[in-house]
Amino acid sequence: MPGAPIHTRGPRGISKRGGIQAEAAAGFLEPLGAERVLSSDARRAIETAEIIAGSRPVEVVPRLAGLHLGEWEGLSLEQMPELPDVLSDPERRPPSGESLVDVLERARPALEDALSSHGDAIDVSHRMTNAVLLAEIMALPLTAAGAIQQDPGGINVIERRGRGPTVAMLNVSPLDPLRLESTVATLV
């Protein structure tokens, strides 16, 4: 049986479980009192951001979108055997899609904008986009981004201080912080 189709930019919204994860993220982030909530333009990110934002406006930032699979969009993993090559070669693009370097270059200005906010800001984005940005901040090679887990509703905290940003928390899942129910995403 072929696997489920992978959409990094598809129209699907969040599931009921996703809504519970977003509520938990909202509760976790509440003490920050962040002024800005930014979201990728994907429906599932906007829905998540709206739950977190409450009465605050959500700023939609297309630069925070997920890795664009181009012509592979909507295929199952079995139908894109070259996907691991894209994740192990930072310059390699799927046909009409994005490489890891492309993702970094277009998403980095959005992160810099959020970090230069007057107060705290919350970005709602996607697994590989986050992982690439986190790898960059930690000075890891982009090909190591895949080792950084990003669970649905997981929270990273990036602090701007001293000489550039530092990672203060990475992939905290408020509903399962000790990761007893989690799995490892080994590809996308």
Partner 1 sequence: MAAPIERRLYLLRHAEAPNVTADGRLVSSGASPVSERGRAQADALGARFSEVDFGTVHASDMPRAAETAKRLAGDRGVELHEELREISLGDLDGALAEEVFSTAPRFLSDPAASLPGGESPLEVRDRAGPLLERVLAEEGGRDVVVVAHGGVNRVLIGSLLGLGLERALRLRQDWASVNVLEHAGGRWWVGCLNWTPWGLEEFDHTRRVTALSEEHWLRMGR
Q: Return left, alpha or beta for 109; rule: phi > 0 is left, psi -120 to 50 is alpha, else beta.
A: alpha
The yes or no reply on residue 5 touching partner 1 (CB under 8 A) is: no
The yes or no reply on residue 140 touching partner 1 (CB under 8 A) is: yes
Task: Give the type of residue at 155.
Answer: I
Residue 30 or 41: the one with the smaller Cβ distance to partner 1 is: 30
Site string for partner 1, 54-83 (x = CB under 8 A): -----------------------x------
Q: Determine which residue in the list 22, 28, 66, 87 makes contact with partner 1, applying CB under 8 A.
A: 28
Alpha carbon distance 150, 7 (integer Å): 16
Helix (H) or strand (E) holding 47: helix 43-53
Alpha carbon distance 103, 130 (integer Å): 10
The yes or no reply on residue 167 touching partner 1 (CB under 8 A) is: yes
The pair of structure tokens assigned to 47 is 């829905």
The pair of structure tokens assigned to 17 is 């479980």
Residue 28 CB, nearest distance to partner 1 (Å)?
5
| 81-86: long-range pairs with CB below 8 Å, 24+ | 83/187, 83/188, 84/187
Residue 60 or 77: the one with the smaller Cβ distance to partner 1 is: 77
Residue 132 CB, nearest distance to partner 1 (Å)?
14
Residues that bind partner 1 (CB under 8 A): 28-32, 77, 138-140, 144, 147-149, 154, 157, 159, 161-163, 166-174, 177-180, 182-188
